[in-house]
Amino acid sequence: MHHSDAPAIREIPVGDEGAGPYGIAAGPDGALWITLVHSGRIARLALDGELVEYPLDSPECRPMIITPGPDGALWFARSQDHRIGRVTVDGETESFPVPTPGSGPFGITAGPDEAMWFTEMNTDRIGRITGTGEVTEFALPHAGAFPSAITAGPDGALWFTLNQANAIGRITVHGDIVTHPLPTAGAAPVGITSDGTALWFVEIAAGQIGRISVEGEIKEFPLPDRAAKPHAIVAASTGECWFTEWGANRVGRITESGEIAEYSLPSPSSEPHGLTLGPDGALWVALETGGVARVER
C-alpha cells in the first residue's frame, strides 16, 4: 500500500554525477559520512550543509559500505583494491589489506567483540579486523555465495546475506557458521539490518522484504512493485524498517505486520543505495547520481 501523505524529502548535492555516493552512516560527531564509490573519496556532510571531502590513497579503490566503529572512527570496505579503510572524524585515513587476494570486501559492521566484521564477496569468506588492523578470515560452506551486507544481531552473533547462495548466514564471534535458505528461489538478498529483536533483509531480485528470527524462522513480504529492486535496509525501531528501491527510485517503510508504504524521490533515476538514520531523527539516503536525500519520518 502507499501512504497518501508523503514525508518531506529534500535532496542535497554532495558531488558530481560521476562521484557516486553509495554508502552513508551517521558518525559519532553528529555528521553524515558518505562513500564516493567512483571517485575514491569519503565525504563528511554536516547537518548545516557543510561538506568536506577526504581523498583516499587510491582513487580506484571503490569505497562501498561505511559504518561507525567502537573506536570513534568510521570504517569502510574498499572492494576494488581489497582493503578495509578507516577514517577519523578529523579526516585522517588509513587502510589495511585483506589477506586473501581478490577478496572484494563489501559489507562491514561493528561486532559485539570490539572488532569490525566484513564480507568478502569474491572469496566466500567473512572477515574480522581489530582496531590495529589484524585480520582473521572464516571460510563459508558455500562456493560462489557472494556474501554481501552484514550486521550485528540481537543474539551476539553476526548476520549476513548470501546473494548468490540465496540464504541468510549467521556467524558467532568464534567463527561458527550456520546458513538459512530462503523460501523464494533466486531472491538474491543484499541489505540486512537488526531491529533489536529480529533481522530484516531485502531481496533485490524477488522484490520482497524478509524477516528472520534469531531461531531462523523466515517471513517474506512482497512489495507492490516486484521490479523495484530493494537494495539497502535500516531499522528505525523494533518492527519498523526503511529501505531503498534502487530500481524504482523510491524509499519504502515496512512494519512487522507487513504494512508497506513507498515514497518517490524528487530526482528521477537517482539510484538510491545506502541509507541511515541521522542524528536529527531523519532518514538519509545516498543517491549514486550525486546527492543525498533527507526524508522526514
Active site residues: 273
Phi, psi of 122 (to 5 degrees): -85, -15
Residues 238, 254 contacting (CB under 8 angstroms)? no
Contacts of 86 (CB under 8 A, 6+ apart): 69, 73, 74, 75, 76, 93, 94, 95, 96
The burial of 251, by beta-carbon neighbours within 10 Å (0-12 exposed, 13-18 middle, 19 or more buried), is given as buried
Please, where are the H alpha helices in 125-274?
none
Residue at grid coordinates 501523505: 5
Residue 185 has what DSSP assignment?
Answer: T
Reading the block at residue 284, the C-alpha cell is 538519509
Give dist(CA 266, CA 249) in Å, integer: 9
Give Cα 147 distance to the centre of its chain: 12
Helices (H) and strands (E) in the chain, counts: 0, 28
- Return the sign of the alpha-carbon dihedral for residues 86, 162, 196, 295: positive
